[in-house]
């Protein structure tokens, strides 16, 4: 019933796993943090226990309902322009998904009765990819993204954590095989080993998370990316199965598709605030976007 309703709300798929401590992820996360692969993302060091155990986030948590929402666009950017990650083409996904999650939680409460739970969209200490993998929605690829056969990886992951016992799904198997396309193609060599991404070397980190000046040693390596990076997904063979989404709110802002390099270079703060007021691009702020554009231009 929950899965049928999630489909009606527009989610790609839904998987359910038993809430509890993520034993396998604990040493991995600890090593990753100890090696400073989070760069200046100090928030990754906070709430270590909660990241690994959703019962500390939601009282009496029994189940983690993981959901995928497709964001693969019908049209791609002008190839001669600066590049924006596909997930940011439309409206800010946090608002789009949160509304759907709240609708799903209301549905569960209406149909089943008194159920407590919380909705999570990439904004709280929840290891969303680990939970999605645990519930059989895909496997963790060598680029550390969740990958699904016949779908690929261009989707958002979100969760409802509820105090309700449900039937649980089982993990799927890894289908990366001997492929190393993502590792070989990463412009900044951020995929330091299969399944390990050094976040502090990733173009997404540099263009969105890093608030300081961009490091000079990265000059010429951004390949015109000014917000995020899709290279490790674009080259993944499983993404040849990606199909365009049909969520109106995620439709591309026309300017993202049509802007030339000179349009981006000449963008004013007023235009930025007006055109991208509901966009994930707001995260890097106008000054950050200009910094990224200038860095790519000078390269």
* CA separation for the pair 52, 272 (Å, rounded): 38
* CA separation for the pair 82, 12 (Å, rounded): 29
Q: Measuring CA to CA, how many Å separate 154 from each of 21, 37, 43, 73, 147?
A: 27, 23, 25, 9, 9
E strand or H helix at 180: none
Q: CB within 8 A of 278, min separation 6: which ones?
A: 91, 92, 95
Looking up tokens 């928030």, which residue turns up?
43
Q: Measuring CA to CA, how many Å separate 235 from each of 19, 96, 179, 184, 229?
A: 34, 27, 11, 10, 12
Cα dihedral sign, 276-277-279-283? positive
* CA separation for the pair 96, 278 (Å, rounded): 10
**Both tokens assigned to 206:** 């540099």
Q: Is 230 a catalytic residue?
A: no
Considering the candidates 122, 165, 184, 223, report the single residue annotated as catalytic: 122
Q: Catalytic amino acids?
A: 122
């Amino acid at each position: 019933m929950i899965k049928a309703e999630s489909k009606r709300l527009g989610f790609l798929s839904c998987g359910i796993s038993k809430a509890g401590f993520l034993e396998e992820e604990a040493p991995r996360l600890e090593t990753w943090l100890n090696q400073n692969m989070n760069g200046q993302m100090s928030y990754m060091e906070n709430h270590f226990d909660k990241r690994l155990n959703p019962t500390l986030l939601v009282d009496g948590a029994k189940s983690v309902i993981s959901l995928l929402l497709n964001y693969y666009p019908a049209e791609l950017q002008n190839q001669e322009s600066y590049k924006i990650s596909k997930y940011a083409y439309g409206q800010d996904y946090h608002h789009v998904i949160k509304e759907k999650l709240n609708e799903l939680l209301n549905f569960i409460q209406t149909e089943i009765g008194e159920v407590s739970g919380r909705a999570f969209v990439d904004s709280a200490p929840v290891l969303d990819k680990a939970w999605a993998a645990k519930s059989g929605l895909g496997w963790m690829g060598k680029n550390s993204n969740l990958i699904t056969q016949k779908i690929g990886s261009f989707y958002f992951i979100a969760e409802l954590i509820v105090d309700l016992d449900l039937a649980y799904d089982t993990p799927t198997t890894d289908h990366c095989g001997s492929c190393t396309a993502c590792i070989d193609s990463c412009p900044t060599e951020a995929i330091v080993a299969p399944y390990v991404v050094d976040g502090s070397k990733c173009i997404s980190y540099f263009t969105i998370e890093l608030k300081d000046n961009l490091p000079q040693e990265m000059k010429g390596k951004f390949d015109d990316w000014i917000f995020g990076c899709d290279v490790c997904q674009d080259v993944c063979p499983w993404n040849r199965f990606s199909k365009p989404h049909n969520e109106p709110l995620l439709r591309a802002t026309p300017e993202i598709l049509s802007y030339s390099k000179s349009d981006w270079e000449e963008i004013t703060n007023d235009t930025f605030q007006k055109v991208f007021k509901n966009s994930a691009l707001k995260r890097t702020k106008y000054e950050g976007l200009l910094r990224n554009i200038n860095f790519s231009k000078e390269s």
